[in-house]
Structure 1
């Protein structure tokens, strides 16, 4: 008789749910890799060093890779997606010990990845938004996310006494209420994720954005709310899980479990991808009298110094026209190649020291 692992690998041919699980995770993980790559490229194009939010999302992606490996092992070697009767018949009872160990590791990784994504998004808000109230709110929610991660991680890690009773159910000891633990953790995650998503909404509706960019930002918020809905559905599946058939019932929850963090990584990267997208499609950023992205640090400074500070709304300095000299003129006079006139303009003579500033009369 073939070894149990090889036999379960051969069973993958008719394990439809298991193959769907691996396929969904593979596609979303590939998209997440693309989003992370574009994010890092955008930072390089902007000549901006990596910030804490970038490092957090990178670490979250590495942990997600670990969870992806765990899921593949559960499908290939533990028969997740097959009914427990078939798994027992083919691989024996010891397969469920490995299955419980991997489920335990997967739950800890899921909790950690979700916390890292939330902290990355909130830290991005702190660096990008200038409004004091939103910054303070982001810090408060960051504290709550850290507290929830610590509580959920240790409650899950030490759910049973002794610890090995989590995967060896016949070990003497006791465990807590698993459904109550998961319900509390998932409900708290959903509530905090909701606040993470809705923080930028007042700025989206209260700032003069173009219809295209406003539509993109609204789509990001809708995608974030969809993630929260998936968490709620995942909690419902936790209640419907049949303890006598864990390998078959867990696969649906596993699919939703991978969708939530992977979509979270993608959503966290979307606001930072504009420079890379412009570079790929050769789109030039058009000058505008107002900053058109609430995620632009310059726009945040503009809000701090005007709108939120209660000052008179002034026209920001911006290029109005660029006068380019002909090539022969450059060669003949060795003058600079172009003159850029802005709303705060000055003219410096290239042949003398004369300087003309905008006078108060012209300013009026």
Structure 2
């Protein structure tokens, strides 16, 4: 039997519809602007693919929220749903809220992978790549575990949407609470990950702090997460259709805001007077050796990440001028033997002196 369309009668329903619609819109706009900014220099990379995937999952998640209102009675008490709209509507809701949990995990997973992939491109060092891969593996494992737990928390599975069936269920509020705590911890670790590398950048402190602030912008989601966490312990899951409205709104906003904040640091080319072009020496994300998803074979060369952060900084800043200077200990004399397997080398060329001059690019 097809679920009945539910009339919009209260503010809670309107709140879900408005926030979900806005969340879909702002994420699509933010990701679209990010892609345009990256295409200015033809630098689409794995972090962009991940953020697009996160945007698609975000759209599906909020479409699920909207359907919970229009077909699941979200915003009404469960008893009222049974009385006015029938058990099919309640069943639709509880199946939908389980789907919401799965979509939430997929959205969060790809948004975090996008950030880690961005770090791997911005900081082309073997240690950063190793840490990014370790954290990426933990994020994927954690989200898969959450999805499995959503299916296994009630036995049999159908008890998730039919509480009258014999069987057992774990505490859904406790499950969602622990999921939020782990999400908060992983956010903190991911934000802290690039800070030691940023501290060592050879740039002015004012600009260094600006880059740190840009890459720490994800803390903006913490207020949403913490407030949501305070609501979960007292949540009555049997009346989730009414009691869980605000917690669900905040849960939907959290990854949407995270996606938008992950896009903001990479939008600067759209607003810069001097845009990077395809001929620019800036090579963000162009190296296959520093990709989060590249094969692990071969040694990753450690490069100076200072230049790669030009995408995040103001080119018009007087402190951003690049000066080519020789290293103080620049002249190295090396004696080498010259030999050939094909022809006789004159005796006076058996030994040669090679003089090397090394140059260093400094950003003053």
Q: Distance in 2 between matches of 1:307 and 1:243?
A: 49
Q: State the number of aligned residues.
A: 295
1:37 equivalent to 2:35? Answer: no
Task: Decide whether aligned partners of structure 1 residues 153 and 209 sit closer, same or farther in structure 2, where only a CA change above 3 A counts.
Answer: farther
1:156 equivalent to 2:150? Answer: yes
Residue 27 of structure 1 deviates from its aligned partner by: 1.9
Alignment-derived partner of residue 52 in structure 1? 46
Residue 179 of structure 1 deviates from its aligned partner by: 3.1
Alignment-derived partner of residue 114 in structure 2? 120
Q: TM-score, normalised by structure 1?
A: 0.71
Alignment-derived partner of residue 17 in structure 2? 22
Q: Distance in 1 between matches of 2:105 and 2:304?
A: 40
Q: TM-score, normalised by structure 2?
A: 0.71
The Cα offsets for residues 149-195 of structure 1, whole Å up to 9 and x where unpaired, read as 12111111222222112112222222233233223322211111111
Matches within 5 A, 1:85-164: 85-164=79-158
Q: Distance in 1 between matches of 2:72 and 2:142?
A: 31
List gaps (5 residues or longer) in structure 1: 309-317, 319-341, 345-359
Q: Distance in 1 between matches of 2:266 and 2:324?
A: 28
Task: Decide whether aligned partners of structure 1 residues 217 and 76 sit closer, same or farther in structure 2, where only a CA change above 3 A counts.
Answer: farther
Give runs of ≥4 in structure 1 deviating > 6 Å. Answer: 293-298
Q: CA RMSD in A?
A: 3.4
Matches within 5 A, 1:334-349: none
List gaps (5 residues or longer) in structure 2: 291-300, 307-314, 316-322, 326-356
The Cα offsets for residues 255-300 of structure 1, whole Å up to 9 and x where unpaired, read as 101111101111221222122233xxxx1259xxxx9x997889xx
Q: Distance in 2 between matches of 1:113 and 1:306?
A: 32
1:76 equivalent to 2:40? Answer: no
Worse-superposed segment, 228-237 or 245-254: 228-237
Residue 120 of structure 1 deviates from its aligned partner by: 1.2
The Cα offsets for residues 20-69 of structure 1, whole Å up to 9 and x where unpaired, read as 22212222321211111112212221022x32221111111111111111
Task: Say whether the 8 Å CA contact 1:5–1:91 is kept in structure 2.
Answer: yes
Task: Say whether the 8 Å CA contact 1:4–1:90 is kept in structure 2.
Answer: no
Task: Decide whether aligned partners of structure 1 residues 209 and 156 sit closer, same or farther in structure 2, where only a CA change above 3 A counts.
Answer: farther
Task: Say whether the 8 Å CA contact 1:179–1:239 is kept in structure 2.
Answer: yes
For residue 181 of structure 1, the aligned residue among 147, 169, 175 is 175
What's the secondary structure of 2:34's corresponding residue? helix
**More helix per residue: 1 or 2?**
1
Alignment-derived partner of residue 284 in structure 1? 274
1:248 equivalent to 2:242? Answer: yes
Task: Decide whether aligned partners of structure 1 residues 4 and 167 sit closer, same or farther in structure 2, where only a CA change above 3 A counts.
Answer: closer
Task: Say whether the 8 Å CA contact 1:83–1:248 is kept in structure 2.
Answer: yes
Q: Distance in 2 between matches of 1:169 and 1:116?
A: 33
Worse-superposed segment, 32-41 or 211-220: 211-220
Q: Distance in 1 between matches of 2:63 and 2:304?
A: 50
Q: Distance in 2 between matches of 1:146 and 1:122?
A: 12
Q: Distance in 2 between matches of 1:271 and 1:172?
A: 52
